[in-house]
Every structure is written in C-alpha cells, then in structure tokens.
Amino acid sequence: METLSPALIAAFEAVLSKVPLEDRARLHAFKDAAAAAAAASAPHWDFDQPGHRAEEALAEAFGPALTDDHRRALAALWALEMPARIPAADLPDAVLELYPEWIQRLADFLTAAADPYDRDFWAKDVRISLVLSVPGARTQMIDLSSPMGPGQVLRHAREGWGWSVIPAYAAAQAWKPWLEVHTESRELSDFNEAGWDRAWATAAEICKRRPEMAGMLGSSWFYDPPLEQISPRLAYLRLNLLKHGAFMVHQGPGEIHTQRAATSSPTRAALIEAGDYTARSWIVAFPRAALIKWADGRKAAMQSDTARAA
C-alpha cells in the first residue's frame, strides 16, 4: 500500500510551509521527543493525553508566539512520517484499507486551516498521525491501548447496578489493555448499524494480531439503557453487542454527557430540560473471544451472501 501519494505529501508539506523556516527547524528538533511523550501517555484513560503532551512541547518551543499554524504544522510533520509508523504497528487489512480516506481527510482539514483548532479535533489528529489510534470504519476510530480500572467495576456493583459485572470482568481478564472506540464527528456518514458493525469487526481483526488485548470497549451516553424507549433508533448500539457477549459498566451522569445527548435530538433535549431524563455514560466492553467469534460469524455470513448473489 502506498501510504502517502505525491499529492498528499505535497498537501502536508504545504501545511508545514505556512510556518517560517526557523519555526520549521524547531518543530523538526522536538518532534521525536514530543512523539515519544505522546506515545507514553496514550494508554491513559484520558483520550486527550497525547494532545496535551504535543501542546506542551509546542508551548515550550514557541511560548506566546504559538499559533494554530504551528499545531497544524506539527500534525502535518507527523502525518509525513505515517509511512514508517503504520507498518511498525502491524495492522490488519481491515485498518489499512481505511487509511487512504482518513489521511485524505486529515490533509483536507489541515489545509482548510479552520481557526481556532478545535480541542477535540486536535486530540484526534495527534493520535491518528502518531498511529496511537487507527481507523475502525469511516466514522469510528480505535485507540490501540486503553485501561478498564477495577475501581469503576466495583463502584458499579456497590451502587446497585448488578454484581454480574465482577465475574464478567474476571472472565475477560479485563485488567489487560483494551482497544477503545471513538466517534469522529467530522465524518458521521458511518454512524449507523453497518458502520458500527464494521468498526467492531475491525477491532476483532486487530485483536487477532494482538493477543495481549482484552477486547474493545466504548464509553458513551448513547449506551444508556433508557434510550431504548427515548431514542429507539440508537438501541442497536448497545443491544447488538450484549446479544453476543459484551457487558456494561455504569459510569454515571456528567455535564459533557448531558451536552452531547442533547446536541442533535430535540426529543432528548426536551426531556433533559424538563428533568425527565438524566443522560448517563456507560462502558460497553466486548471481550476478545466473544468479539472474534461474532466477527468471524459476520464475515462467514457476508461471504455466503456474496456467493449466493454471484
């Protein structure tokens, strides 16, 4: 696979050349150390950590002169190194085939130079360009290492959400690192059942290459069980996984979950406003053995559909 076409290389170089020559030299000087610090922080539960490490390196180098052009230039510099980082990560074809689109989108976003650089997009672009997170589908990206602490599992049980989570945690060997899925809000075309199936199936392929992974988890307000009545079109997000061996851990309400749940749905916004619904975040964890079994079944069904249609 050609990771970067000449046109993509030219696009990233053009982003880089928006900062003065001496600033480019400084970026080159600290990019490797900043990449190492970002990678070291990536297994933390906080998705934003690598972006913070990159931000710290930029602030140290440029101080008050730091601009979004510098941030974009650093992301472009790391994107230009993806042809080395992607093979080193030993990723399955299910991921590799998504890269051309994801890298093109990154190039387009950096080229468009929308100021200010949204914090969430910055965190995502740092992770993608450093291959700390990888494409899972058109909309979903997958972090390559994320923890599930025993604390929240015990709290789930203690607070009355059910004790079965404890044997589920043990059976999954959930103290091992997990993959974690995130939604890329700049490209929502795959936020549907087929897109999510693709993301979970991609995770299964990554797990096959990485026996140390416990499986993949997601954490969101959109796994909240009452949504089955309030927003039935989102119920597949949770039910399809539970049917095939996933388990859930309660995380609880929070300002960010309320905000996100209310963003696009007048129905949820009205219920929240009236005090009739409190958005809660949940983890859905799909342990590796069950995930791979489901994904292999899906693949076999897709192959027999194709054979029948031929």
Q: Which of 31, 124, 198, 260 binds ligand COA (CB under 6 A)?
A: 260
Contact letters for ligand COA, residues 261-290 (x by CB under 6 A): --xxxxxx----------------------
Rounded CA gap, 159 and 278, in Å?
Answer: 17
Instruction: List, in order, residues 6 or more apart from 147 with CB less than 8 Å away.
Output: 43, 44, 45, 177, 178
Neighbours of 138 (CB within 10 A): 18
Q: Does position 185 bind ligand COA by CB under 6 A?
A: yes
Q: Does position 156 bind ligand COA by CB under 6 A?
A: no
Rounded CA gap, 179 and 25, in Å?
Answer: 35
Q: Which of 29, 33, 188, 301 binds ligand COA (CB under 6 A)?
A: 188
Which range of residues in 12-20, 51-59, 163-171, 181-189 is near ligand COA by CB under 6 A? 181-189
In which order are the strands placed within the sheet that holds 133-135? Answer: 133-135, 140-146, 178-183, 215-220, 280-287, 247-253
Q: Which of 191, 196, 223, 286 binds ligand COA (CB under 6 A)?
A: 191
Among residues 153 and 230, whose Cβ is nearest to ligand COA? 230
Q: Does position 141 bind ligand COA by CB under 6 A?
A: no
Output the six-digit token pair for 239: 């039910």
Identify whether the C-beta of residue 238 lies closer than 8 Å to the C-beta of residue 223.
yes
Q: Does position 237 bind ligand COA by CB under 6 A?
A: no
Which range of residues in 40-48, 58-66, 118-126, 180-188 is near ligand COA by CB under 6 A? 180-188
Helix 99-112 vs helix 119-129: angle between axes, to the nearest 10 degrees? Answer: 140
Instruction: List, in order, residues 6 or more apart from 88 with CB less than 8 Å away.
Output: 131
Three-state SS at 90: coil
Three-state SS at 107: helix
Tell the smallest beta-carbon distance from residue 192 to ligand COA (Å).
7
Tell the smallest beta-carbon distance from residue 266 to ligand COA (Å).
4
# residues near ligand COA by CB under 6 A: 16
Which range of residues in 28-36, 61-69, 163-171, 231-239 is near ligand COA by CB under 6 A? 231-239
Q: Does position 233 bind ligand COA by CB under 6 A?
A: yes
Q: Which of 67, 231, 240, 278 binds ligand COA (CB under 6 A)?
A: 231
Instruction: List, in order, residues 6 or more apart from 65 with CB less than 8 Å away.
Output: none
**Interaction site with ligand COA (CB under 6 A):** 183, 185, 188, 191, 220, 222, 231, 233-234, 260, 263-268
